[in-house]
Amino acid sequence: MTEIDLNDLSLAELKTLEKDVAKAIAYFEGRKKAEAIAALEERAKEFGFKLEELTRLAPTKKRPASEAKYVHPENPSVTWSGHGRKPQWINAGLAAGKSLEDFAI
């Protein structure tokens, strides 16, 4: 392997090298994953199965989207369910002296 003196490289050359290394790593990992999948498919075939039959996971249950509880005062198409982080327009309203009830649907 060739040694590279990183101290001799400019910032642009270092950034190019960084991108090239990231691409090489991604390519290497992709190739190794493909090899692993091929080996697993071959092994499953020896037992009379397809790999997808053995790795199929139970379907996850998705929760329905929460209903909106608060509405933007100037744009009724913008809503918030009350879950998660408060949107900026709620924070701005609260900072202006309003309460959450002022935004309630």
Question: Which residues are CB-contacts of 65 (< 8 A; sequence separation ≥ 6)?
Answer: 81
pLDDT by residue (tens digit) across 70-96? 999 899 999 999 999 999 999 999 999
Strand pairing class (79-80; 70-71): antiparallel
pLDDT of 60 > 70? The answer is no
Average pLDDT over residues 47-62: 81
pLDDT at 23: 97
Question: Which residues are CB-contacts of 35 (< 8 A; sequence separation ≥ 6)?
Answer: none
